[in-house]
């Protein structure tokens, strides 16, 4: 083994480059997560509104609200699942 292989200045430079790349990835991930969260806010709000309507209604009215609440919940769940999948696989759809 040669001393070139363990050149500390070269290793420090490589480590610094890796640190920069990691930082850039973290910034991109934070931005992407923020965008995903913002996209989910309206769906979460819709689900919360439907749930509040449910709380404010009688048992008879529940049957009328149930489809809307179910739809809001399903859309929110689907969106969260898709967002999580994108971050797990690293792909954008």
Domain total for the chain?
Answer: 1
Q: Are 47 and 86 in contact (CB under 8 A)?
A: no
Q: Could you list the residue range(s) of the whole structural domain that residue 75 is in?
A: 7-89
Q: What is the pLDDT of residue 4?
A: 58
Mean pLDDT in runs of 10 for the chain (93 residues)? Answer: 66 87 86 84 85 75 76 82 76 49
Please tell me the distance from the alpha carbon of residue 24 to that of residue 77, in angstroms, as a whole number: 30
Residue 1 lies in a domain: no
Residue 27 lies in a domain: yes
Residue 2 lies in a domain: no
Q: What is the pLDDT of residue 93?
A: 47
Residue 36 lies in a domain: yes
Residue 85 lies in a domain: yes
Please tell me the distance from the alpha carbon of residue 73 to that of residue 5, in angstroms, as a whole number: 57
Q: What is the pLDDT of residue 3?
A: 55
């Amino acid at each position: 083994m040669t001393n070139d292989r363990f050149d500390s200045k070269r290793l420090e430079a490589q480590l610094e480059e890796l640190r920069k790349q990691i930082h850039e990835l973290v910034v991109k991930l934070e931005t992407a997560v923020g965008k995903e969260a913002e996209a989910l806010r309206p769906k979460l709000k819709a689900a919360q509104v439907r749930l509040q309507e449910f709380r404010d209604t009688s048992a008879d009215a529940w049957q009328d609200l149930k489809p809307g609440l179910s739809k809001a919940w399903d859309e929110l769940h689907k969106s969260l699942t898709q967002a999580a999948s994108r971050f797990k696989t690293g792909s954008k759809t």
